[in-house]
Amino acid sequence: MVIITKLDKLAKLTIPCAYQGGKQRIAKQVVDIISQYINNNNSDNIKFYDMCCGSGAISIELVNQGFNPENIIMVDASPWGLFWKQIGDGTFSMDIFKYYIDSVPKDISKIQEYIKQLYKNPTQMNLVYEFLLLQCASFGSKGIWWKDNKWCTSSFRNYWLPTATSSRRSPVNPMMPMPNTLYQRVQELSFGMEGVKGYWQDCNDIDIEEKIF
């Protein structure tokens, strides 16, 4: 596992993990369009509201292209909103997250069962850390959500190896990305996205300020 103490300014930030509805494949094109309407001389006075931000692909791309994270407001009613709130205000603990990462079985054939148990026994205090692991293990990257103090989803990935007759020749891992990669991505985001204003709530409940984009 790579532990970093500061963000390499040349490094490109990326989303923690995929989920259905994520915008990572089109983020650069979207931001390129947005950038045409931003006067660089006044960019520090512009607020960008990323409604239903999810994994943050658009906001991350904005930061990768030089936009000040302190001028970004990220809103989502799913646990992604809580993740960005904690990343932005510096309360996301990499030490607690490392504990969860280290708790994932090294035997990848046992990861699915571990994730299922994590899903059954939610801990609200550490909800955001559990969420990241569950989302990485979600079958088809379907969104994980929280309702009535419990997790909700359909199913989780299982480790699969190709057989002699399989058309797919590479294995399918139970987490995408695997734990160490997830940790490194989040660690980089904790530096690069610090200062964003995250809200774990419905977009309709957010007060919009002036001078927005």
Task: State both tokens at 137.
Answer: 């293990």
User: Which DSSP string corresponds to 21-72?
Assistant: T--TTTHHHHHHHHHTT--GGGGGG-BEEEET-TT-HHHHHHHHTT--GGGE
Amino acid 82: pLDDT: 97
Q: Which residue has the higher pLDDT, 43 or 164?
A: 164
Which residue type occupies 141? Answer: S
Amino acid 8: pLDDT: 52
Amino acid 10: pLDDT: 52
Compute the average pLDDT of residues 184-197.
97
Percentage of the chain beyond pLDDT 70 is 90
Amino acid 167: pLDDT: 86
Question: Token match 């996301």: residue?
Answer: 92
pLDDT at 100 over 80: yes
Are the C-beta atoms of residues 74 and 199 closer than 8 Å to each other?
yes
Amino acid 162: pLDDT: 85
125 part of a folded domain: yes
Q: Check residue 127 and report its DSSP letter.
A: H
How far is 52 from 12, CA to CA, in rounded Å?
A: 22
pLDDT at 103 over 90: yes
59 part of a folded domain: no
How far is 180 from 45, CA to CA, in rounded Å?
A: 37
| Helical (H) or strand (E) element with 183 | helix 179-192
- Mean pLDDT computed over every residue of the chain: 89
Amino acid 168: pLDDT: 83
Percentage of the chain beyond pLDDT 90 is 69
144 part of a folded domain: yes
128 part of a folded domain: yes
Task: Kindly give the interhelix angle for 27-35 and 57-64, rounded to the nearest 10 degrees.
Answer: 60
pLDDT at 182 over 80: yes
Q: Which residue has the higher pLDDT, 69 or 153?
A: 69
Structure confidence by residue, pLDDT tens digits, 70-94:
999 999 999 999 999 999 999 999 9
pLDDT at 102 over 60: yes
Amino acid 40: pLDDT: 62
197 part of a folded domain: no
Structure confidence by residue, pLDDT tens digits, 114-149:
999 999 998 889 999 999 999 999 999 999 999 999
Amino acid 154: pLDDT: 78
55 part of a folded domain: no
Which residue type occupies 135? Answer: Q
Amino acid 97: pLDDT: 98
The total of structural domains in the chain comes to 1
Q: Has this prediction a pTM greater than 0.95?
A: no
Are the C-beta atoms of residues 159 and 108 closer than 8 Å to each other?
yes
Write out the residue range of the structural domain in which residue 168 sits.
105-183
pLDDT at 150 over 70: yes
